[in-house]
Structure 1
Amino acid sequence: MLTDIHPKLPMRNKAVTKDYYVNKLGFEVFGNKDFDGYLMILKDRIQIHFFEYKELNPKVNYGQIYIRTNAIDTLYKSFLEKKITIHPAGHLQVKPWGQKEFSILDPDNNLITFGQAI
């Protein structure tokens, strides 16, 4: 049986990625051991893992994840208040497939989309 999914995204610099997700997005480091070149973060029930890829060219990185929320308006407002850059084409909007969504790009150009069913 499948029970969870924990996406793995590339990162060029662990310290930069950790700072962005922990200090800006409000995640916390997950696990009791610090692995070289690997980072695990957690917020509520969402885990994201990162693997080091120093040669990553962010301009050609197509890493993407979709995170569901039950408080999209509150989350969007909190990101705006924290001055987190919203993707230029990803501001909060209702999509034809019945989701209210917005997107951000992390320091390595991974696209993180947040959505809530309407």
Structure 2
Amino acid sequence: MADERSNIIQVTPFLGVRDLQASLDFYTGILGFGAYAVGGGYAYLERERAGIRLLELNAMGEREVHVLTCYFDVHDVDAEHARLADALATLPTGRWKGPVDQPYNQRELIVQDPDGHIITFGQGIGPNVGQWDYRDPPS
């Protein structure tokens, strides 16, 4: 009998970084990700089953960072901000903002990593409230 599970597990952004250790320190120390499979200029990071992959550019022979934005949908962006507030306060001025209500009906906390990648935590507001309810198992 064939395996009935879907084949796709998740989408994982792959971020090129200049200094893997500095990026690991940021993602684990500031944003609270766990680091897994670290080695060879590579790291897989995960928090609450949401992952990011880092690859040190020198390991690929590349030098230019192509800045990406990663969006993490959360149930409560204000709670996320409260959880990260002390760590965010250690970042240089201008490296984070929010939570802020956006005109596209999302409330967002926006953080910039050491290479300029934008990490956004957001939740739906207004007509977007409950936009992910279809994923929650029935009570």
TM (normalized to structure 2)?
0.71
Give secondary structure in 1 for the equivalent of 2:98.
coil
Do residues 42 (structure 1) and 46 (structure 2) align? yes
Unpaired runs of 5+ in structure 2? 1-5, 126-139
Residue in structure 1 matched with residue 133 of structure 2 by the alignment: none
Q: Specify which of 80, 83, 90 is matched with residue 78 of structure 1.
A: 83
User: Where does residue 131 of structure 2 map in the other structure?
Assistant: none
Runs of 4+ in structure 1 off by over 6 angstroms are none
For the residue of structure 2 that corresponds to 1:76, the secondary structure is: helix
Tell me the residue number matched to 2:64. 56
Is the 8 Å Cα contact of residues 20 and 106 (structure 1) preserved in structure 2? Answer: yes
Q: 2:70 aligns with which of 65, 74, 77?
A: 65
CA contact (8 A) 2:96 2:111 kept: no
Question: What SS does the aligned partner of 2:103 have?
Answer: coil
Percent of matched pairs sharing the same residue: 24
**Aligned partners of 1:84 and 1:41: how far apart in 2?**
21
Higher relative contact order (Cα pairs below 8 Å, separated by 6+ residues): 1
Number of aligned pairs? 113
Q: Which amino acid aligns with 2:69?
A: Q
Cα distance change of structure 1 residues 71 and 87 upon mapping to structure 2, 3 Å threshold? farther
Write the letter of the residue equivalent to 1:51: L
Gaps of 5+ in 1: none
User: Which has the larger Rg?
Assistant: 2
Provide the alpha-carbon RMSD of the alignment.
2.1
Residues 61-104 of structure 1 show CA distances to partners (whole Å, capped at 9, x for unaligned) of: 42211111112001112222222547568421111221111211
- Rounded to whole Å, the distance in 2 between the matches of 1:88 and 1:28 is 21
